[in-house]
Amino acid sequence: MPNAGSSYPPSALPPADPILATDLAGLALRTPVLLAAGTAGTLDEMQNAVDLARVGGIVTKSITPAPREGNATWRLWPVEGGMLNAIGLANVGLDAFLRDYAPRIASVPAAVVGSISGFSVDDFVQVAAAFGTISAMPAVELNVSCPNVKHGTEFGSSPDLLAELVREVRAVLPRTRLFVKLSPIAMGPVKLADIARAAVEPANSSPNGPNQRPGADALCIANTMSAMAIDVRTRRPVLANTTGGLSGPAIHPIAVKLVFDVYRALARDTKTPIIGLGGVLHWRHAAEFILAGASAVEIGTGLFVDPRSPVKVAKGLASWVRSQGAASIKDLVGAVAA
């Protein structure tokens, strides 16, 4: 089991509705609902708006080796069915994260997943090696799918590049679970299942421990989709970056299909948990992801609509699981009748 000696979970975790208890590659979660990277501050800034003791986990803002200011404004734009963002990976950088945020992680009453981004294998490895030393951080998530920076989706669009990245990162993470966040857009003839396989089974990678997998422990599907809005009066793109990533309900059915595809093609047989994300506003959206094959969900844009949505979604999921006559939400993973 990775990170067996981790200080997570904190002893003070309140009991959850056991029907929602789940796990991601051995990481126990009280509910399958997590806060998505970049939509909830750097770490626990949402704590005044939502009781973090009632969510399953928090994914940090994606951290790069150096601090980044991100793209110029405008970089957020509401559209029908969601929003566009072109934040451009604005973040405090690794040193500030380790100094100002890492010491607080052990007291966050939910699983903290550290999101990592970068522009080279070395960037990812540098942040991963540092995150691997944080015992209160039981998992990291590689963001190889940011459409809002140059080369942001490169690793997520090539099975070879992704396999190399996963091998190198895995080598510096002997105890921490490794999640890989895939892009909804696979390039050219490459299917998302091919990219997912490269993350889960990177060739020539040897596990660091007896219970460690050679590649990713879990897959996050998916990120935003590259998109654009135009001010027809000025004839200019509304975002300073010209394009941005579309999130929210508009991408939800696409993400459900991608989860379904990867679950059937790979994850079911390899027992690789999937975290579904894209447009979860209500429990029904989350339930669709579970039925398609996800073990958990992350909420991003939904937090902008209602910061308490993770708690409401979890409550709705619990009622739904009972109404389906199931003893645990785990029994409904991949249970779509198709």
Ligand X SMILES: Cc1cc2nc3c(=O)[nH]c(=O)nc-3n(C[C@H](O)[C@H](O)[C@H](O)COP(=O)(O)O)c2cc1C
Determine which helix (DSSP H) or strand (DSSP E) holds 298, and give its type and residue range: strand 296-299
CA distance 20 to 88: 34
Nearer to ligand X (CB atom), residue 3 or residue 301: 301
Q: Cβ 5 to ligand X, closest distance in Å? A: 27
Q: Which residues, 6+ apart, have CB-to-CB distance to 9 below 8 Å?
A: 28, 111
Options 50, 139, 146, 287, the catalytic residue: 146
Residue number closest to ligand X, CB atom = 38
Q: Round the CA-based radius of gyration of the chain to a whole number and report it.
A: 18
Q: Cβ 206 to ligand X, closest distance in Å? A: 28
Nearer to ligand X (CB atom), residue 19 or residue 225: 225
Q: Cβ 163 to ligand X, closest distance in Å? A: 20
The DSSP 8-state label assigned to residue 68 in this structure reads B
How many angstroms separate the Cα of 319 from the Cα of each of 182, 222, 276, 277, 284?
A: 30, 26, 20, 21, 11
CA distance 164 to 154: 12
Nearer to ligand X (CB atom), residue 216 or residue 299: 299
Catalytic site residue 146? yes
Q: Cβ 41 to ligand X, closest distance in Å? A: 10
Distance, C-alpha 119 to centroid of its chain: 18
Q: Cβ 262 to ligand X, closest distance in Å? A: 15
How many angstroms separate the Cα of 215 from the Cα of each of 173, 202, 247, 328?
A: 11, 6, 27, 28
CB 194 within 8 A of CB 186: yes
Nearer to ligand X (CB atom), residue 2 or residue 302: 302
Distance, C-alpha 276 to centroid of its chain: 8
Q: Which residues, 6+ apart, have CB-to-CB distance to 153 below 8 Å?
A: 144, 145, 146, 147, 183, 185, 226
Classify strands 177-182 and 218-221 as parallel, antiparallel or unpaired.
parallel
CA distance 81 to 281: 11
The DSSP 8-state label assigned to residue 74 in this structure reads P
Maximum alpha-carbon separation in the chain: 62
Nearer to ligand X (CB atom), residue 71 or residue 85: 85
Quick one: which of 331, 328, 312 has its CA closest to 18?
A: 328
Q: Cβ 230 to ligand X, closest distance in Å? A: 20
List interacting residues with ligand X (CB under 6 A): 36-39, 61-62, 83, 85, 87, 89, 115, 143, 181, 223-224, 247-248, 251, 277-280, 299-302
Nearer to ligand X (CB atom), residue 19 or residue 116: 116
Would you name the residues annotated as active-site residues?
A: 146
